[in-house]
Amino acid sequence: MREIVFDTETTGLNPLGGDRIVEIGCVEMINRLPTGQTFHVYLNPERDMPDGAFRVHGLSSEFLADKPLFADIAQDFIDFIGDAALVAHNASFDMGFINAELVRVKMSGIAPERVVDTLQIARRKHPFGPNSLDALCQRYNIDNSRRTKHGALLDSEILAEVYIELTGGRQADLGLATVETAAVERLSANLSHARPMLKRPHVLPERLQAAELAAHRQFVATLGGDLIWNDYIRETDDA
């Protein structure tokens, strides 16, 4: 199963009010494991950078001035995600910006059915929160010390680890391994203390009398056909 964990950085909060994407970061996962394949790009938003947004991600208008426009990388982005499910934290925010940018370049938007929102998963799993990305890293002991500011690719890499924990992948494996290890240890301990098997000093006498054996042969003979009982009778006669 192929999934793309992704994040965006923007100039603000409203894609319909003129705010634009300035960074996209994507991490490919196959069967809930990162493959090492990524998609990362900074974008020229064709507008100024509000101070509030700059304080969040540290991307200035001067830094972004020579970066490509979304139109320049739109097809590369679509090619990278393919038909994979898209995973994001507070996905409605990121998808609102992605689809707004796609509409601007006259490309089809991405259907909401393809999107997995880890914030919604976290709220169901931890209803009393907090469920920010940083809080989830703390809950699951994921190192986010590099996250001094928001960055789309770094946040995607961290979110991929959080997503694995939220869906029980790593914890389930560890739990199963612990149970299996404990079971093996108990079995080994029991075997090490088990008494050795003893052999009978004398073979037990045959419990069936000759008359009973003869009566059984006569009964089997009345059944006809190739019966498995005949094999046992022959073995007894040979003995």
Q: What is the dihedral of CA 105, 107, 111, 112, to 10 degrees?
A: 0
Measure CA 39 to chain center: 20
134 within 8 A of 3, measured Cβ to Cβ: no
Q: What is the dihedral of CA 122, 34, 28, 172, to 10 degrees?
A: -40
Active-site residue among 57, 126, 150, 216? Answer: 150
Report the C-alpha gap between 96 and 153 in whole angstroms: 18
150 is catalytic: yes
Number of neighbouring beta carbons within 10 Å of residue 86: 21
Kindly list the catalytic residues: 150
